[in-house]
Chains A and B, each alone.
Chain A
């Protein structure tokens, strides 16, 4: 086996000085995470969770740590506009908080929204428990969570969002990460902490954007806690620049009777990996996920969805679709565990995929483990081409083949946005999906 530290990527990430916080527990935690990363290094494809995503190419690259001049970098403000979305907004450029691009004034009652850098400076103590919990989680996964570790060691900014118990935040909160060209190829890291108190409700729109041509590596860890009876709608639009490598961990914990609805659209990036882990911890918690990934060119987009039903009468419904073109590769793993005691739970997962060219590939791996009683579970995955009968139907009405294909492919992806309640946002996202399709 390769010595981890000899890989250029690992070396360059370890070269980066740890952010100095002056907080003893935090400095110690960061040092610990850094040491753990140094000792386990990167996962190779023998690690089950990385079977279809080889890091060989990425591992040979070196990235400079952070962007010292990010706070002054010019950003096209039109990048930030999102139809149908107007409310609080937090913007980061190359991982650095940008007050000038953010909207934090006049926050509604019950919403606390701050950059992590500021919270760490003002009062870090409340973060302590969550920080160590996510470090412990990364520990349990060994090399598989290498990037979560380097994130825990190096991230100095991100979003801290809290919604007070029973507060309903009507306007969606926008969280934007922009990758921009800097002095050399950059690595940057961001960490988000999101907490909905009991009975609270929030819509969060997370965007990953970029307009640069330089390669980057960005890692994200988001810890999301949905309190009892709370409702979260989380929309993610990943439309990063084509040379950006994005590795994201999202971890959701759902308490009793809470409801989380997730819409994820993966369009951009070079190598993109998203580990999306959801624990249904309280009785009657509900999860609804919809996702579309559309790799083209030589993109590689890997989603690892892991859902754990841990309480009585919990429900999850997941529907994801992939469309791969050119020589691109998509990976989807949907793993559901219904743990002992999660009796009466209901879990369904479907992943359908379309290959638009002979050189494209999608690997899908459904996994279902049930250890509880009276569980309803449905599980299915397919990879294929467009339905011949539908194509003929359209052509028989006069629609040329290429147009018929485009129409059916667009409909295939757009279906994942059907239940998105904000019509302007739905149209906007739908337009982006269609723009990604071959003309």
Chain B
């Protein structure tokens, strides 16, 4: 589904990604771990098309197409979703209105029929049940005045409604108490399916107790330096990133 080869990217003239390669197949859950400043969020931003991230070398192929050639909105319509590390507050834009606009914009781009408000509401009700978030949040402006945990859960809720093929979760677990973490994990597990892949960026292996990954990668200094299964996460937890084999690719 996703094939990243030798990806180099710069931010404000500074090289952050330095030859990153990664292959993700449908149905897989990949965890990406690594020290602060390694380039994890940069990877998420480059994949979803944020301005200011300049790709200087390498390719990203998504379902056989050149992902990097698409505008952010076209990537979303093609099924790429980024749960932000720091979701922005958008005062004055109602959460439900926003989500319906987003879903219908995607459907329109894919040539599907737009959902009327009845059908949309029905969908939202279903997803709310699964995500266990209060529908009071829906009536507020996007993320405005939300607690840290509410923002993260809102990201997962959006993911549930938009049903992406490739979901990139950028430290969605950070700053959550154990109950919120379990809810987020449950949300992800509910969405796991043979047609969908997850790229879970995380700092702690805690999340991986609840969402068991198929692969764990270590991203350090702009590259994947080590890959393995869940045991790698446990080892990192014990030894820290200092013990990471620099330059090694499993």
A residues in contact (CB < 8 Å) with B: 387-390, 392-401, 403-404, 407-408, 410-412, 414-415, 418
Contacts and interface: CB of A to CB of B under 8 A. Distances in A.
Contact of A398 (B90, B93, B103, B141): B103
Contacts of A390: 88, 90
Interface string B153-182: 000001000100000000000000000000
Contact of A395 (B71, B98, B142): B71
A116 to B, nearest CB: 40
Contacts of B87: 393
Contacts of A400: 71, 73, 105, 109
Contacts of A389: 88
B69 to A, nearest CB: 15
A387 B93 CA distance: 14
Interface string B20-59: 0000000000000000000000000000111100000000
Nearest to A417: B92
A395 B87 CA distance: 13
B90 A408 contact: yes
B106 interface: yes
B72 A392 contact: yes
27 contacts: A389-B88, A392-B50, A392-B51, A393-B84, A393-B142, A395-B71, A395-B72, A395-B76, A396-B48, A396-B50, A396-B81, A396-B84, A397-B105, A397-B106, A398-B76, A398-B162, A399-B73, A399-B102, A400-B71, A400-B73, A401-B73, A403-B105, A404-B73, A407-B98, A407-B101, A414-B92, A418-B92
Contact of A408 (B49, B72, B93): B93
B92 A415 contact: yes
Contacts of B88: 387, 389-390, 393
A392 B106 CA distance: 15
Contacts of A395: 49, 71-73, 76
B103 to A, nearest CB: 7
Contacts of B92: 410-412, 414-415, 418
A397 to B, nearest CB: 4
B76 A411 contact: no
A403 B84 contact: no
Contacts of B76: 395-398
A418 B92 CA distance: 9
Contacts of B109: 398, 400
Contacts of A418: 92
Contacts, number: 78
Contact of B102 (A387, A394, A411): A394
Q: Which of B48, B77, B101 has the most CB of A within 10 A?
A: B101
Interface of B: 48-51, 71-73, 75-77, 81-82, 84, 87-88, 90-93, 98-99, 101-103, 105-106, 109, 141-142, 158, 162
B143 to A, nearest CB: 9
Contacts of A396: 48-50, 72-73, 75-76, 81-82, 84
A94 B90 CA distance: 43
Q: Which of A387, A393, A397, A412 has the most CB of B within 10 A?
A: A397
Contacts of A403: 101, 105
Contacts of A407: 93, 98, 101
B106 A411 contact: no
8 closest Cβ pairs, A-B complex: A411-B92, A398-B76, A398-B106, A397-B102, A395-B72, A398-B105, A415-B92, A395-B73
B114 to A, nearest CB: 12
A361 B90 CA distance: 25
Q: Which of A389, A396, A400 has the most CB of B within 10 A?
A: A396
A420 to B, nearest CB: 14
A399 B93 contact: no
B101 A399 contact: yes
B139 to A, nearest CB: 14
A317 B49 CA distance: 40
